[in-house]
Chains A and B, each alone.
Chain A
């Protein structure tokens, strides 16, 4: 996935001379995850540059650069270090188009290595998606695979509005063979990555792979699940979720973020609005617990496991 993201940045820099890439350690080092590897060498220190450690400043500079006609791509080093930027993102990046009655657009991309599962230190395993999804004016995407990371990041950079790209750290080293393309479904469109009629399992980011694993295990027992990869958390593909659940009549929502007011809460509400008459069972959520993200030795007990997903599907299917 790191190579897919790197290719997306490289191709965007090459195609659009107004694209800039900056953040902490994105220069010679290529970012702490090497997503910007080689970009400064290829495109120069004016278009790819290190910044001081100043997350609010990084996000705030995006506003001014966009006003000056640039297309900034900022990297936040880690999910847990992105919070100082929230004021700039919520108060300005998200609202500027609306605040100026449509006169000033914010074609800004903010990349945030996100979520857990890498045995990280504290503040390195956060799931910040709800903060952004709850903020009107932002779009939020979370790719699940290397190829889709390319497609979604290209779409984010090309978008006329600000897009928060939550990159699942635990999938950074995942491999996928195929064509890097921008001619694929863009932001706002979910993808059914596995067909099935017994139950719809809805996930995003790193949890998609886990849901597919759970679906394989369930298939051995003759329970055929559909798996929907949301890809885009805002806008949310309500139609795709609704259509799948109307077909299967059952749903399980999976995410790493804590249960309470997580994406699952919204998705379940949408399912109720879109597919109530078709539901055969209550919708279940398999999520992180309502606790701070735990240390490495405990994180697998926090993250939704294949076992928890399988158990939830069985419960829903046998209701």
Chain B
């Protein structure tokens, strides 16, 4: 057993075994179309993730952080949010972004080095800018949730973060603030076992989900590779938040199959054996088997999704690689609403040089 997938922790919500057989109540309130959509999203996301790794090796992207293995955690949680809600990602949540309807070509401009943070419109998708200083986005989610509460909206925010981020002060401040203000926020921890090279055993002592008790709100552990369990936990937390029940901490136990990023060499700190053990708990194959066994998806459904994914990813790649750099003067254009004269002087110098 891996250090983050521990036996001493409270029971983990799991509806499907790693083999895809039901081990709990699998009726999570989704229609058959929606169940198929979950599988389709996961297949699209994985295909795009692998393409991004290739694009980085080809020099078309700068450093890229892959999420393979975490598709269920991201798709299941994002699927539980509505258009009125707002997600605050870290930097590995491309699968969640796809579910939220973010324009992926715009999203990937971040990794192409075209623009920082949020090259996409956060408001149209309810998906905040990519956030690299880990845990800082959790506080933003609490602020947004407090704002929604003050407006009397039945809406919640969801902050994505990792097992490493949970050690940051911002996590603790965010959790306490959310509790004190009863802010409708979901703290969604994707515990993938590794913070770059540091294993969970060197990151914290007590299970992360247990911290909820200390702050005064529920903390639940969920099998992060079981998309149905993730959906149910998030959906329940969202319902509670939107109806005034306050925050919830969800610890989704999952695994980062790839390196931390394309700049990382994960063979220096972990065994292939561990990675293979988690490949066997693959979230996509697990759910595919379940849908086929239940008669929700036909045998060919996943293959058809894969074909669709190929075509979609080709178009994304073509659109993305056709993009050039912005005009150098754009560096100055969004710093202030109205640039001060000192900045206009610098902007003129850049334009004159060009």
- Which residues of A pack against B, CB within 8 Å? 20, 46, 51-52, 54, 56-57, 59-70, 72, 84, 87-88, 91-92, 95-105, 136-137, 139, 159-161, 188, 235-236, 238-239
Contact = CB atoms under 8 A, between A and B. Distances in A.
A100 B125 CA distance: 13
B334 A61 contact: no
A61 B146 contact: yes
A20 to B, nearest CB: 8
B177 interface: yes
A20 B181 CA distance: 14
Interface of B: 86, 88, 115-119, 121-123, 128-129, 133, 136, 138-148, 150-151, 157, 169-170, 173-174, 176-177, 180, 333-338, 340-343
A29 to B, nearest CB: 17
Contacts of B150: 20, 46, 70
B164 to A, nearest CB: 16
A60 B122 CA distance: 17
Given A64-B139, A64-B140, A98-B335, A54 B128 contact: no
B118 A101 contact: yes
A188 B339 CA distance: 11
Given A57-B173, A136-B335, A68 B151 contact: yes
A101 B119 contact: yes
B143 A161 contact: no
Chain B interface mostly? helix
Contacts of B141: 64
Contacts of A236: 342
10 contacts: A46-B150, A57-B174, A57-B177, A65-B147, A70-B150, A87-B133, A87-B170, A88-B170, A97-B336, A101-B115
Contacts of A100: 117-118, 122, 129, 334
A199 to B, nearest CB: 24
Contact of B140 (A69, A92, A105): A92
B139 A60 contact: yes
A102 B334 contact: yes
A60 B141 CA distance: 9
Contacts of A66: 143
Give the residue among A99, A102, A160, A161 with the most B Cβ atoms within 10 A. Answer: A99
B143 A137 contact: no
B189 to A, nearest CB: 18
A89 to B, nearest CB: 11
A68 B180 contact: no
Given A52-B177, A60-B174, A238 B341 contact: yes
Given A70-B150, A160-B338, 6 more contacts: A57-B170, A95-B116, A101-B118, A104-B118, A105-B337, A235-B342
A61 B240 CA distance: 21
Given A70-B147, A101-B334, A137-B335, A61 B142 contact: yes
A131 B239 CA distance: 42
A141 to B, nearest CB: 13
B116 A68 contact: no
Nearest to A139: B336
B145 A64 contact: yes
A239 B334 CA distance: 23
B144 A99 contact: no
A13 to B, nearest CB: 14
Contacts of A235: 340-343
A68 B341 contact: no
Nearest to A104: B122
> Which 5 pairs from chain A and chain B are nearest by CB?
A64-B143, A68-B147, A99-B117, A60-B139, A235-B340
Contact of B116 (A98, A105, A139, A160): A98
B136 A91 contact: yes
A57 B139 contact: yes
Given A52-B177, A100-B122, A161 B139 contact: no
B118 A99 contact: yes
Contacts of B176: 52, 54, 57
A235 to B, nearest CB: 3
Contacts of A99: 116-118, 129
B129 A87 contact: no
Contacts of A136: 335
A67 B122 contact: yes
Contacts of A65: 143-144, 146-147
Contact of B334 (A57, A64, A67, A98): A98
Nearest to A47: B150
A101 B341 CA distance: 20
